[in-house]
Amino acid sequence: MVAAIASNLIIAIIKFIAAAFTGSSAMISEGIHSVVDTGNGGLLLLGLKDADKPADEEHPFGHGKSLYFWTNIVAISIFGIGGGMSLYEGITHVTSVGEHTVLGDPTAAYIVLAIALVVEGASFTIAVRQFMKAKGKMRAGEFIRRSKDPSLYAVVFEDSAAMLGLVFAFLGIFLGHLFNNPYLDGVASIAIGLLLMSVAWFLASRTKGLLVGEGVNPDELADIRRRVESDPTVRRAGDILTMYLGPHDLLINMGVCFADGATDQEMHASIRRIETDLRAAYPETKRVYIEAESLANLTVCPR
C-alpha cells in the first residue's frame, strides 16, 4: 500500500503536467483522481494502524471500528473531491467550448496515460491477487457482502476505477482529436466523475452497516443458536446479539435458559463449553457474554 501511495503521487504530478501542456479536461480529472487515491491510501493505512491499538479505559472494546470510520472518510473523499471536482471540471469544459476552441497536441497525454496504465495495472494485479487469496472459494460478490474488512476490497475498487478512468480519458482525448470535437474531452471528465461517485456510493453503503453495528449474517446466527442449544445443560437460548467491533473482533451476547435442576457448577461448565465451541467455529470471536435467564422470563424459558 505504501508503494501504491508513492506511485499515485508521482502519477498525479505527471498527469497535471500533461494537462498543462495539452489543456485536456480529462487529464485534469485524472490528476485529481490520482491525488485522491494518494490521500485515500494514507487514510486506509491510518485506519489499519488505529484498529490495531489495544483497548484502554476510554475504549474498553478496542479501536477496531477506526478502520470503518476511515474507510467511510475515503468514500466521502472519493465522492466529494474526486467525483465532484471531476464532474465540475467536465461541465466547465463543455460549457466553455466555443467556435474557436483549438485542441492541443495530445502526445504528452498519450505518453502519460501509457505510463499510468502500466503502473496502475501492476497495482491492480497485486490488489486482485490479494483479494482472490482472501476470498478463497467464495464468490466475489458474496465475499464482499460478508467481509468485515473493507480494506480487502476497497483497494480493488479504487484500482478498478483508476484503470477504467484511464480508458475514459484516452477515449475522450483520442475521439476528440479524431472527430475534431473538443466537447468529448469534457464528456470524458464527466464520465470519470460519475465513475468515482459510483465507487464512493458503494463503499459508503458497505461501511455504513459496519459503523452502526453490523453483526453476523442470518445463517451464522442460526448456527450459533444451534450450537448453544445443542449443549446438554441448555434448555434454550434467548436473544443472541452479535456485533463486529472490528474486522477480526466479534462480540456475542446472549441469554440462556438452563435445564431445570442444573447446578451452578453444571451451568459454569456449560458456559465454558459454549464459549470454547463458538471461538473454535468463529475464530474472530473475542468476547462472549452469557447471561443465565430467570425462570420467570417466560419468553425465554417457557414453563
The set of cell numbers assigned to 191 is 464520465
Q: Are residues 256 and 117 part of one domain?
A: no
Count the residues in the chain: 303
Yes or no: say if 264 and 227 are a contact pair by the CB < 8 Å rule. no
Domain that holds residue 111: 2-211
State how far the Cα of 35 lies from the Cα of 255, in Å rounded to an integer. Answer: 50
Q: Are residues 237 and 192 part of one domain?
A: no
* Burial of 60 from C-beta contacts in 10 A (0-12 / 13-18 / 19+): exposed
Confidence of residue 6 (pLDDT cuts 50, 70, 90): confident
Yes or no: say if 31 and 192 are a contact pair by the CB < 8 Å rule. no
pLDDT tens string 277-297: 999 999 999 999 998 875 445
Q: Are residues 222 and 207 part of one domain?
A: no
pLDDT > 90 fraction of the chain, expressed in percent and rounded = 37
Domain final residue, candidates 167, 191, 211: 211
pLDDT tens string 43-74: 888 888 998 888 888 888 889 899 999 999 99
Q: Are residues 98 and 28 part of one domain?
A: yes
pLDDT tens string 108-146: 889 989 988 888 888 888 888 888 998 888 898 888 888
